Amino acid sequence: MSTPAISVRGLRKSFGATPVLDGIDLDVARGESLVIVGGSGTGKSVLLRCILGLMRADAGTIRLDGQDATGGAPEAFLRRFGMLFQGGALFDSLPVWRNVAFRLLHDGMPPNEARARAVAALAAVGLSGRVADLYPAELSGGMQKRAALARAIAARPSVLFFDEPTAGLDPILATVINRLIREQVTALGATAVTITHDLTTVRMVADRVALLHDGRLRWTGPVSAFETSDDPHVAQFITGRADGPIATLR
Amino acid sequence: MIRLLARIGAPALGLLAVTGRLAIFTARTLSHLARPPFHGRELGRALFQIGWLSLPVVGFTALFTGGALALQIYAGSDRFGAQEAVPQIVAIGMVRELGPVLVGLMVAARVTSSIAAEIATMKVTEQIDALVTLSTHPLKYLVLPRVLAATLVVPALVAVGDVIGIMGGWIVATERLGYVSGPYLRSSLDFLERVDWISSLVKGGVFGFLCALLGCWFGMTSGRGAMGVGRATKGAVVAAAIAILAANLLLTEAFFAA
Ligand SMILES: Nc1ncnc2c1ncn2[C@@H]1O[C@H](COP(=O)(O)OP(=O)(O)OP(=O)(O)O)[C@@H](O)[C@H]1O
Ligand SMILES: [Mg+2]
């Protein structure tokens, strides 16, 4: 088996006395699409931030493309990487197209070519060319999210992180986005890690699913086994019952 | 006794630690000067924001202060019958001290605050993290252009402030105090030496550097949420103002102490 794109061992992170991640072991193979589910506030976003070194983990090792990345993601990895942040994180001092084409422009692509690529990426997330010259503050929440998604994929990265890509979108657009993410993996061969609460996204995007609960990955398996699993955490997550091992007070 | 030592020691150590971190931050930022790529577009934007857009504030501040200075010095020198020294004293006061200090403080109010608030907002909305994931170093992209622009352009603002301040004094002197226009101006300018102008510009450069650096530092180290942004902005302006006044004392000592 080739080295996994992402490999995490014994990852721990606490804020003050509260442990959020309590020994995470995770491998994501090249060209695989992993979907992470779990209750709100269980540490899914923190996990992604720790993997990238945007937040320093308390313990554990992280390897990206086989290289040690415990002190932060190496430059070579980031050059082929794209991320959709949960809040979008568009640069509000730049018009939308410069946001989307950010990496292309900084790699020295001529502006008109970069702009054309940006407009194409915007179209892929269902945003018309009219949006290109607006500023992020002039977009609705869902439009910002989609523009940020366009930014993540515009340079055709080989590793992608998506933090709740369909949150706040209508079901039709959600389908467009889910297809787009799947296409990155199937057609372009990218490795993807997607965080979601949306079972449709799980079904459409995942090769493998991991459920985060109480600081650990309680269940990991192929998507085909997810919905038929008799694990009580998974079952409760799928049915959305309030009673079960996943407490509602957190 | 020990409690007293502890009470003095803790903040002193804290201050030392912050100074150390700020020094590392500065060194890291400046090290990007030697490493391409350079973000020329950001530098241009910063020069425009810090230099051009500060001109009205600087102009008015210098104009009013120069005028008031002439009035005040006239009133004071009247007691010694030394009215002919008014143009020289106004010129020296403006160029050596008031010009740089007032421009520095106005830049702290206008530029340091906006830099701190902008960068702190970027931090709390994960825009800084997004920069990192897009292979762009925040110190290179956000901090260096602002620090460079302020260091280059604030001396020019100070020069403009010096000249407008002398003009303010001249307007008041000729309109209110009965001085003759030509000789007033000539004695203002003839009296000033090269070192006066050089000290003025050097002070401008140092103050500009401090203003931008502290704005960026407080922004980058901001806490979370709107409260974090507010606190970063307030801290940046206060720190920049005090740093300017302290640096001014040191620079005056360096240039003019006999
Ligand atoms: N910078 C921080 N400082 C202190 N606590 C934090 C910080 N970031 C996250 N936390 C805490 O870590 C926990 C996990 O946060 P995280 O954002 O990872 O949740 P999440 O699983 O992504 O939830 P959601 O699905 O609602 O986005 C939360 O309890 C949060 O309060
Ligand atoms: Mg989250």
Separation CA A199–CA A227 (nearest Å): 10
What is the pLDDT, as a whole number, of residue A1? 56
Spell out the long-range contacts of A86-89 with Cβ–Cβ below 8 A and sequence spacing 24 or more. A86/A45, A86/A163, A86/A164, A86/A167, A86/A195, A86/B126, A87/B125, A87/B126, A88/A136, A88/A144, A88/A145, A88/A147, A88/A148, A89/A148, A89/B125, A89/B126, A89/B127, A89/B129, A89/B130
CB within 8 Å of A225: residues ≥ 6 apart: none
Q: Helix B225-256 to helix B194-220 angle, to the nearest 10 degrees? A: 160
How does pLDDT run across A26-64, given as a tens digit for each residue? 999 999 999 999 988 999 999 999 999 999 999 999 999
Total domains present in chain A: 2
- Which pLDDT score, from 0 to 100, does residue B9 have? 85
Whether A65 and A168 share a structural domain:
yes
Q: Residue A24 belongs to what domain range?
A: 1-80+159-250
Structure ipTM over 0.95, yes or no: no
Q: For residue A90, is it within any domain? A: no
Q: Using 50, 70 and 90 to split pLDDT, how confident is the model at B50? A: very high
Q: Are residues A57 and A8 part of one domain? A: yes
Predicted pLDDT of residue B82 = 80
What's the A41 CA to ligand 1 centre distance in angstroms?
Answer: 5
Quick check: is A110 in a domain?
yes
User: What is the C-alpha separation between B222 and B121, in angstroms, rounded?
Assistant: 9
Using a CB–CB cutoff of 8 Å, tell me whether B125 touches chain A. yes
B35 in a structural domain: no
| Among the partner residues A92, A93, A103, nearest to B134 by beta-carbon distance | A103
Minimum CA distance residue for ligand 1 atom 23 = A41
- For the stretch A93-117, pLDDT in tens is 999 999 999 999 999 899 999 999 9
Evaluate: CB of A91 within 6 angstroms of ligand 1: no
Residue B130 lies inside a defined structural domain of this protein: yes
**Percentage above 70 pLDDT, chain B:** 100
Task: Judge whether A20 is closer than 8 Å to chain B, CB to CB.
Answer: no
Domain endpoint, select from A107, A125, A156:
A156
Q: Is residue B6 part of a domain?
A: no
Number of domains, chain B: 1
Residue B216 is predicted with a pLDDT of 97
Gap from CA of A235 to ligand 1 centroid (Å)? 24
Contact (Cβ atoms closer than 8 angstroms) between residue B212 and residue B150? yes
Residue A86 domain flag? no
A46 within 8 A of A21, measured Cβ to Cβ: yes
Establish whether residue A86 lines the binding site of ligand 1, counting it when its CB lies within 6 angstroms of any ligand atom: yes
> Residue B145 sits in which domain range?
42-256
Is residue A113 included in any domain, yes or no?
Answer: yes
**Residue of higher predicted confidence among A203 and A71:** A203
Chain B residue closest in CA terms to A148: B130
Among the partner residues A82, A92, A106, nearest to B136 by beta-carbon distance: A106
* Cβ–Cβ contact A71 with B under 8 A: no
